Amino acid sequence: MIGKIAAYAAVIIVAFIGVFVWCYSGAIVTAAVTEKVVALTYDDGPNPPHTQALLDTLERHSVKATFFLKGQNVEAFPESVRAVAKAGHEIGNHSYSHRPMFSLSKTEMLEELVRTNRLIENLVGYEPLLFRPPYGIQGPGLKMALDELDMTSILMSTSGLDWEVTDPKLIASAVVESIEPGSIILLHDGHGDVSDPSAQDSRAASVEATGIIIEALRAQGYRFVTVGELIQLSK
């Protein structure tokens, strides 16, 4: 009896691991490159005026980054979205409502993805091909929806932990100390958990950290590219 239960448990565990691995198949965590290139990415925006401050910092350093935008914020701040695109940065999709997506159905996921893609396309003229799952959580529904839309999930290999660290120097050192060629760096210019786009807190620390990160990594010989460019370099 105990042997049978153990066998059933083993089958269930193996099946669960199989589904988990499949859900994340195709997702990019880091790029296989040998040269010193990395990608700065920003989630949960736009969040004016912090998104604008970030654009100013990136322009001052002549760096292009990738912004994963939340659909609700795209609706609320269309001018900010246009400013990101006009500055030459890459735009990706970060869902419409920023719900954790392990349990959502394929239909619900398609709604989240397509709605946000349409909003972005109407403002900047193209549909994003890249998606970052909120909280990095990816379930079967999301995997099927991404495959159907031919979109790629972009995770991250390095983070400034800026959802809990508020000192710009500490945010920057968390990134700089864990960097390696091909790193995808996660930072935030907005707040995913805030349902009212106008009620978002400051991201001044992340903006200041960005300048420190760029200067420190350039001193080590790194250059910055968008996620799309990083994927191309890894082929």
Q: Footprint of Zn ion on this chain (CB under 5 A)?
A: 43-44, 134, 192
Residue nearest to Zn ion (CB): 192
Q: Which is nearer to Zn ion, 81 or 217 (CB)?
A: 81
Active site residue 43: yes
Active site residue 189: no
In b/e form, how buried is each residue of 152-171, taking b as 16+ CB within 10 angstroms? bbbbbbbbbebbebeebeeb
Minimum separation from the CB atom of position 232 to Zn ion (A): 25
Q: Which amino acid is at 7?
A: A
Catalytic annotation, pick one of 50, 89, 188, 191 = 188
Phi, psi of 158 (to 5 degrees): -140, 140
Catalytic annotation, pick one of 43, 44, 162, 189 = 43
Question: Helix or strand or coil: residue 223?
Answer: strand
Q: Which is nearer to Zn ion, 33 or 113 (CB)?
A: 113
**Structure-token match 């403002």, residue found:** 123
Closest CA to 65 of 232, 223, 235: 223
Minimum separation from the CB atom of position 135 to Zn ion (A): 7
Q: Which is nearer to Zn ion, 44 or 112 (CB)?
A: 44
Q: Which is nearer to Zn ion, 37 or 72 (CB)?
A: 72
Minimum separation from the CB atom of position 113 to Zn ion (A): 15
Strand segments, DSSP code E, in 144-214 are 152-153, 158-159, 184-188
Minimum separation from the CB atom of position 134 to Zn ion (A): 5
Give the max Cα distance, the chain: 69
Residues 6+ apart with CB under 8 A from 213: 40, 160, 172, 175, 176, 185
Supply the residues annotated as catalytic. Answer: 43, 188
